[in-house]
Structure 1
Amino acid sequence: MTLFNFNSKSNTNNWRIVNDVVMGGRSNGEFTINKNGNGLFKGYVSLENNGGFSMLQYTFDTKDVSRFSKTIIKLKGDGKTYQFRIKTNDSDYYSYIKPFTTNGEWQLIEIPFNTMHPAFRGRKLDAPNYPGKQVELIAFLIGNKKNEAFKLEIDKIILK
């Protein structure tokens, strides 16, 4: 199942940026489709004013994912660590997260559902890992507890 396959004509209306400014921070992320037709999440994370994260979210109607076991993302990062996040319901207060590290080249990042732990505001919750039944939101977050520029180019996101 393809969750999103970027191209120059991609409709990105359901993609949005959430920066730490919602909590008084000063980080600045942005999202565009680049000249190669890929999604480009880039910006600067600032620790000023207790900030420290930028997130790109994609919301959609509920998808039954029970016949799949992992997410595969084709992307090119900047050598930094990011989190991939899933919410079973858009209204859930917590997300299931899995960190991954980029290497500056195109990569296929494979994230088995059962490796994604529940977390809220950076704290791991004492609850089971992602059950892989349904999904309404996916996200990419950078928040490495340091001031840094970032750039993540995304080609496609699929479930297997």
Structure 2
Amino acid sequence: MKYLIVILVLFSTMSMGAQLIFDFNPNADIKKWVIVDDVVMGGASAGTFGLNPDGHGVFEGSISLDNNGGFSMVKYPFERTPILNYTKIVLHIKGDGKRYQFRIKSTSQDYYAYITFFTTSGDWQEIEIPINDMYPSFRGRRLDIPNFSKHYIEEVGFLIGNKKNERFKLLIDKIELR
């Protein structure tokens, strides 16, 4: 019986296809995507988010270190999504060669997020992020609690804050669970 349960669990995990968190296209509804810049703390960075003619999400703007600023973020809250059968989040993106942070929250009201960093190449990339490698962070500081181990998520986001004045542009095609 024990082996039957193990086989059933493995089969159900293997048979699970990718689950889209967001698929950008020319008709995508991006109203729930929200920009949060360092202006909430007195900074002067400015990010925008929209769709380009090809239907890709475009997160772009400028980072300013003025007034102790230095970040721009775009986040997307959505209905609680179970992730028990998935081990990674896959980003289909095209960046500008800069380093970005990908963020998730199990509950959108949490004051902290689970994060990881990735560097873009200037070409289209598929970036695979192991969910349990994402660690908790608040205002740039790692928290002393375990890495992500929740059973659901309800927010994803991208942040840039490389401690320098710079322009940035990140194209997003889709975000999915695998």
TM range (shorter): over 0.9
Equivalent runs, 1:1-160 vs 2, <5 Å: 1-160=19-178
Give the partner amino acid of 2:133. Answer: T
- Please identify runs of 4+ aligned residues in structure 1 that moved more than 3 A: none
Query: Which consecutive residues of structure 2, in runs of 5 or more, have no partner in the other structure?
Result: 1-18
Question: What is the aligned-residue RMSD (CA, Å)?
Answer: 0.6
Cα deviation code 1:125-151 (max 9, x no counterpart):
011101141111100000000000000
Greater strand share, 1 or 2?
1
Counterpart CA distance in 1 for 2:42 and 2:124 is: 34
SS in 2 for 1:7: coil
- Report if aligned partners of 1:68, 1:132 keep a CA contact under 8 Å in 2: no
> TM-score, normalised to structure 1's length?
0.99
SS in 1 for 2:40: helix
Greater helix share, 1 or 2?
2
| Structure with greater Cα Rg | 2
Offset of 1:14 from its aligned partner?
Answer: 1.0
Query: Which consecutive residues of structure 1, in runs of 5 or more, have no partner in the other structure?
Result: none
- Report if aligned partners of 1:90, 1:136 keep a CA contact under 8 Å in 2: yes
Cα deviation code 1:55-96 (max 9, x no counterpart):
000001111111100000100000000000000000000000
- Report if aligned partners of 1:75, 1:152 keep a CA contact under 8 Å in 2: yes
Cα deviation code 1:38-68 (max 9, x no counterpart):
0000000000001000000000111111110
SS in 1 for 2:118: strand
- Report if aligned partners of 1:77, 1:106 keep a CA contact under 8 Å in 2: yes
